[in-house]
Amino acid sequence: MNAERMHQILLGPGDIGKSTNAAEANRQVVFEVLENATKAEVREAVEKFLSSVIAVQVLNVRGKIKRFGKTPGKRNNWKKGYVRLAEG
Complete domains list, the chain, with CATH: 3-85 (3.30.70.330)
In angstroms, the CA 58 to CA 82 distance is 6
In angstroms, the CA 40 to CA 21 distance is 25
Burial of 38 (0-12, 13-18, 19+ CB in 10 A): middle
Q: Apex CA 52: angle with CA 84 and CA 48, to 5°? A: 110
Dihedral sign from CA coordinates of 10, 16, 20, 21: negative
Pick from 10-14, 32-36, 58-62: least confident: 10-14
pLDDT surpassing 70 at residue 48: yes
Q: Which amino acid, 35?
A: E
The pLDDT-based confidence of 49 (bands split at 50, 70, 90) is confident
Residue-wise pLDDT tens digits, 50-87: 889 999 999 999 999 999 899 999 999 999 999 999 88
pTM exceeds 0.85: no
Q: What pLDDT score does 24 carry?
A: 76
Overall average pLDDT of the 22-48 stretch: 89
Query: Of 32, 33, 39, whose CA–CA distance to 15 is shortest?
Result: 32
